[in-house]
Structure 1
Amino acid sequence: MSAPDLTAEILRGALRAAAEEASIVVVRSAYSTFIVEGADAAAAILDANGRLVAHSLSTAIVQCASLRSALPYVLDAYPPAGMRPGDVFCSNDVYQGGVHANDLLVFRPVFAGGRPAYFTGTLIHVADLSGLSAGGMAGDATDVFLEGLQLPPVRIATAAGWDEGLIRVLAANSRTPDRLLGDLRALVAGVNVAARRVEALAADRDLAAGIDGYLAHTEARMREEFARLPRGTYTGEYAVEDGDERRRVRVAVTVRDDGVLVDFAGTDPQVARPVNSGFSQTLGGVMYALRCFVDPALPMNEGCFAPVEVRMPEGSLVNCTKPYPGGGRWATVAAAEEAVFAALTRALPGSGAAASAILQAFSISGATRPWLHMAFELGGMGARYGRDGPDATGALFGGGRNIIPQAEPIEARLPVRIEEVALIPDSGGRGRWRGGLGTRTVIRVLEDALVDTRGDRLRDPPAGAEGGGPGRAGGYFRERPDGTREPLPPKATRSPLRAGEALVVETSGGGGYGDPAERDPDAVARDLREGRVTR
């Protein structure tokens, strides 16, 4: 490695470490159980031009895309010339680069040469922020206002302290104000720590030139990777479940000499249901899907975005407009990813994969007093040529580092008992290569509670590929004390659970790949021995 390359790598590592430290500060300072125990926090460093410079290991690509997409709206609302050291800004507007109401994005400018030159950003799913559902997962929201309090870019703090009026408004719109404000303070602590690290780096070296250099290097490498793909236009599609309806995401991927065009023309229009996606989330899904076809060692920064053009028709499932809801975006983002996978598989036969399960989100909240458990479970990944699908990995999670919280801390904090977390035998699709297994989780409530569900690929389980079978469908269930079960809707709000009853979450298995008759007998014997399949 040459001296310039070594310097660039050291600089990239220092900036990534600053973002990672910010995410750790957020997790350790947060009040919400899912953040503290699940490490669900994102942090990034950007420049004043809105370019993504570095991010934490915990940051999923959809979160990178949101932080990157939202910053220009902050700069429009608060021009840099009027910013002062210590200013902190916040937003959650899905139409201005946000995710949904409960995902707060916080930014702080970092000054160099007397002007804002960089920004540090953090993002987490905060405790309750109004809306139909505690935790922000209203499965029956017909407009964005039912999903929670909407925040355009606002200044929440200066060097003198918090904007107390705004803080009171936020607290008044939460069922759990102490947890909300604790989470918000954690977000601000994260951007403050990262800002100090970036200030120190800028003081010691020509930071701008170093960043320009390694972003340009990433862009050049990304273009080299795309140059290996056959030129042409390739199409794909995937369906999203919306009650009895199927909403389709359609894509055309054009591989050009200078990069890739991803066009969602023909995708179904947005609907007054929480299945739409904001543009930043769809962009993140596209970047995740494309990165599955390039060198995984490439760092995720602005250089990855530069060779990619994404067209998302306004008013469609992949780019909702006000007042259509965007909180249930994940199924549509995953459908966009599957559509891109299908398109590029046509460009590279033998490189594709069967469909995967996606995360099944849910929340359990107190019916008579305020408490909240937000979580998700992960299904099986689709098999691909030469490989079985991994079990319970959430293939389409978006590339971040997140964990399912352990049972003991949840039981210590909340009136629930986690009775089972297990793989489901026979849930992976049959094939020459088997789909990954789904999971079963049983959570019994010790006092009356309300449940919100938001799942997909439950009525139409992940399909197999090249002759492989589909995965087993998952679902949500209410289990009575006598053991009888009844299904809950895949997208429902405030379903009652009585004390002593349990919520059962079963995730779908991934699709299989290839003719099941061609499966290696040794692999079948191993599956039987390990309990992944039954006789």
Structure 2
Amino acid sequence: MNEDLTAEILRNALCVAAEEASIVVVRSAYSTFIVEGADAAAAVLDARGRLIAHSTSTAIIQCASLRSALPFVIRQFPLDAMRPGDVYLTNDVYRGGIHANDLLVFRPVFVDGAARYFTGTLIHVADLSGISAGGMASDATDVFLEGVQLPPVKIATAGGLVDDLVRLLAANSRTPDRLTGDLRALIAGANVAARRLEELIDDRFEAGVEEYLRHTEERMRASLREIPDGRYEGEYTLDDGLTVRVAVTLDGGSAEIDFEGTDEQVALPVNSGFSQTLGGVMYAIRCYVDPGLPLNEGCFAPLEVRLPAGTLVHCTPPFPGGGRFGTVAAAEEAIFAALTLALPGRGVAASGILQGFSVSGAARPWLHMSFDLGGMGASADRDGPDATGALFGGGRNIIPQVEPIEARLPVRIEAVELIPGSGGAGEHRGGLGTRTVLRMLEDARIDTRGDRLHRPPPGAAGGEPGRAGGYFRERLDGVREPLGTKATRQPLQAGEAFILETSGGGGYGPPSRRSEAARAKDIADGRTT
């Protein structure tokens, strides 16, 4: 068979193995957020911790998590001590994890009796203790308030699940049945990918993998060489007044991304674990390189990412890391600002980001976790897309649909709509934010976590900022009152409504330059009033 054709078949087979694993996890999971929102990721890795393939229809923001955590698993459980059927579990934010509710599972794949490769899966489980249901601990001052912390542990062997550990996890969840169901789904996904990998392995497999990674790295370096060499700086400030700073240095096909100067970590859930920041870096850099690049170690190889420990972008014990996405998005915006200096005319205004929330039962245990997405900032040549969640890193839709939520939970969703006029004005208009209205059919509690609400996404090149979003309660008498942007356990009576509004994206260029045809179309389409 033609060598190029053989290589292409192997590349696609590896990607399909990772993708199939993520599909198995989603279809097997118990939590509504996973089943309907498909918030999952899967990967194939080698025993050196290198990423070989990643599920393609999940968020790029997760691309570094499994890759970052695996070395810590191997450090705890040496390769020569692993046995067929072993499965490992972790969620440790300081060891490559994300936060308590994001569980990472790994299964070794053996070649000639030795653990040579790994399959990994990742999802956000409904609840794993912590001060607030669903892990939305917006007032956490340390990691212990965010949920049960799991260093790498063995969760299964060839004989089945480690029952004592499963019972321990279930006892620390407000939704134990869903937790154990999600855990089984994670293991099922890793098992499926492992079987696919075992079917592929032959005497040419290792060489094929090396060639695949080398080819990707060459393409990545070629893309980086298209950006002028030099040192470029950028920064972005969160609602809390904390700033992420970055210097991007490009040199002949390689890039150094240095976050020196970023503000120190704080006793608030706004810090990020290093793996999540690294995922944000990869997303931001990929916005400027060949979009057809596969997602594997070849993309990481040309990058040297410096994340100073003890800062917002690399939290250390015992600082919380659960609220990381505001900081990760700030890191991405800082990189965009830096590379705009390298590539004039390819700038983009700031975007509205995801705004998370959880609603839980006050009288009986039930839980709904979700988020809505803000408008993307306009760019130098086009309007920003509406409600895209651009800085979350792409992937399939992870907003659960209305009907399954209403069928499973005591809420009624009365509106999911764009907010006219929420995009920042400019020569090119920012994308619109959204409004979602959930009516409570039982007494409930609400937890919120958002950013870019006190400091709305700014415009660029003379464009105006987007309209700030927010969280609100509509009382029984119809009066609407604001909830905190980082609130926990706020009561909602049956009949009251929770309203979530996301921020619009910033505009690009002076509004006076917008064409009359574009203004007329905005009004006709209902995007402005």
Same fold by TM (over 0.5)?
Answer: yes
What is the CA distance between 1:403 and its match in structure 2?
2.8
What is the CA distance between 1:197 and its match in structure 2?
0.3
Aligned to 1:216: 214
The reply to whether residue 325 of structure 1 matches residue 317 of structure 2 is: no
In 2, distance between residues paired with 1:62 and 1:531? Answer: 32
In 2, distance between residues paired with 1:303 and 1:5? Answer: 18
Task: Say whether the 8 Å CA contact 2:44–2:51 is kept in structure 1.
Answer: yes
The reply to whether residue 233 of structure 1 matches residue 228 of structure 2 is: no
In 2, distance between residues paired with 1:23 and 1:310? Answer: 28
Aligned to 1:507: 502
What is the CA distance between 1:481 and its match in structure 2?
2.5
Task: Say whether the 8 Å CA contact 1:250–1:339 is kept in structure 2.
Answer: yes
SS in 1 for 2:238: strand
In 2, distance between residues paired with 1:528 and 1:78? Answer: 61
| One-letter identity of the residue aligned with 2:219 | R
Which stretch shifts more, 69-78 or 228-237?
228-237
Normalising by structure 2, we get a TM-score of: 0.99
| One-letter identity of the residue aligned with 2:146 | E
Task: Say whether the 8 Å CA contact 2:223–2:253 is kept in structure 1.
Answer: no
Q: Which runs of structure 2 are paired with 1:89-104 in the superposition (5 Å)?
A: 89-104=88-103
Q: Which runs of structure 2 are paired with 1:86-485 in the superposition (5 Å)?
A: 86-203=85-202, 206-242=204-240, 246-485=241-480
In 2, distance between residues paired with 1:399 and 1:418? Answer: 25
What is the CA distance between 1:372 and its match in structure 2?
0.3
5+ residue gaps, structure 1 = none
Residue deviations 1:403-462 (CA, integer Å, cap 9, x gap): 311111100000000000000000000000000000000001111101010000001100
SS in 1 for 2:489: strand
In 1, distance between residues paired with 2:196 and 2:374? Answer: 38
| One-letter identity of the residue aligned with 1:18 | A
| One-letter identity of the residue aligned with 1:357 | G
Task: Say whether the 8 Å CA contact 1:41–1:58 is kept in structure 2.
Answer: no
Aligned to 1:72: 71
What is the CA distance between 1:398 and its match in structure 2?
1.3
In 2, distance between residues paired with 1:86 and 1:471? Answer: 52
In 2, distance between residues paired with 1:3 and 1:517? Answer: 58
Task: Say whether the 8 Å CA contact 1:156–1:163 is kept in structure 2.
Answer: yes
What is the CA distance between 1:402 and its match in structure 2?
3.0
In 2, distance between residues paired with 1:172 and 1:389? Answer: 45
SS in 2 for 1:293: coil
Aligned to 1:527: 522
Task: Say whether the 8 Å CA contact 1:354–1:383 is kept in structure 2.
Answer: yes
Which stretch shifts more, 157-166 or 3-12?
3-12
Task: Say whether the 8 Å CA contact 1:62–1:280 is kept in structure 2.
Answer: no
What is the CA distance between 1:12 and its match in structure 2?
1.1
Aligned to 1:33: 32
Task: Say whether the 8 Å CA contact 2:465–2:505 is kept in structure 1.
Answer: yes
Normalising by structure 1, we get a TM-score of: 0.98
Task: Say whether the 8 Å CA contact 1:23–1:42 is kept in structure 2.
Answer: yes
In 2, distance between residues paired with 1:286 and 1:4? Answer: 34
Aligned to 2:486: 491
In 2, distance between residues paired with 1:311 and 1:350? Answer: 27
What is the CA distance between 1:88 and its match in structure 2?
0.2
Aligned to 1:85: 84
The reply to whether residue 55 of structure 1 matches residue 50 of structure 2 is: no
Measured on the aligned residues, the alpha-carbon RMSD in Å equals 1.0
Residue deviations 1:327-355 (CA, integer Å, cap 9, x gap): 00000000000000000000111111000
In 2, distance between residues paired with 1:9 and 1:484? Answer: 60
Residue deviations 1:145-166 (CA, integer Å, cap 9, x gap): 0000000000000001111111
In 2, distance between residues paired with 1:63 and 1:474? Answer: 26
What is the CA distance between 1:120 and its match in structure 2?
0.4
What is the CA distance between 1:194 and its match in structure 2?
0.5
In 1, distance between residues paired with 2:467 and 2:61? Answer: 27
Q: Which runs of structure 2 are paired with 1:17-28 in the superposition (5 Å)?
A: 17-28=16-27
In 2, distance between residues paired with 1:90 and 1:440? Answer: 37
SS in 1 for 2:239: strand
Residue deviations 1:185-214 (CA, integer Å, cap 9, x gap): 0000000000000000004x5211111001
What is the CA distance between 1:39 and its match in structure 2?
1.0
| One-letter identity of the residue aligned with 2:373 | L
The alignment-based identity, stated in percent, is 73
What is the CA distance between 1:61 and its match in structure 2?
2.3
Residue deviations 1:232-284 (CA, integer Å, cap 9, x gap): 11000001122xxx000000000112400000010000000000000001111
In 2, distance between residues paired with 1:222 and 1:311? Answer: 19
SS in 2 for 1:122: strand
In 1, distance between residues paired with 2:408 and 2:27? Answer: 16
What is the CA distance between 1:40 and its match in structure 2?
1.0
Which stretch shifts more, 205-214 or 444-453?
205-214
Task: Say whether the 8 Å CA contact 2:22–2:40 is kept in structure 1.
Answer: yes
SS in 2 for 1:525: helix
